[in-house]
Amino acid sequence: MIVGTCTIYLSIPSALSLKDKRRVVKSAIARVRNRFNVSIAEVADNDHWQSATIGVACVANRRERVHTVLASVVDYVERTRLDAHLVDYEIEIL
């Protein structure tokens, strides 16, 4: 069993309140979860209006598959979330 984690750092410049931020983050999390069947949650920066840190986890039987899925998640977030900018990301395979 191979476990991979990905930490995605987002900037949300259009958020003027925590409510605005939550709308963007919840939408992104729901779309990724439905499309890729991964575990995903906001893991840090909970009280910052214009930034979010999202954690993603994937389990598979091959290292290449885990990396492919996590890289696809990062690409999907970067391409589809026009209201959030991808600042950085880290992929770790355990």
Question: 53-87 pLDDT, tens per residue?
Answer: 999 999 999 999 999 999 999 999 989 877 888 99
Residue with the bigger pLDDT between 82 and 12: it is 12
pTM of the predicted model as reported, rounded to 2 decimal places: 0.87
pLDDT surpasses 90 at 90 = yes
Predicted local distance difference test score (pLDDT) of residue 86: 92
Distance CA 83, CA 11 (A): 9
Q: Are 32 and 77 in contact (CB under 8 A)?
A: yes
Predicted local distance difference test score (pLDDT) of residue 5: 96
* Domain residue spans of the chain: 2-93
Please state which architecture CATH assigns to domain 2-93. 2-Layer Sandwich (3.30)
Question: Sorting pLDDT into bands at 50, 70 and 90, what band is 30?
Answer: very high
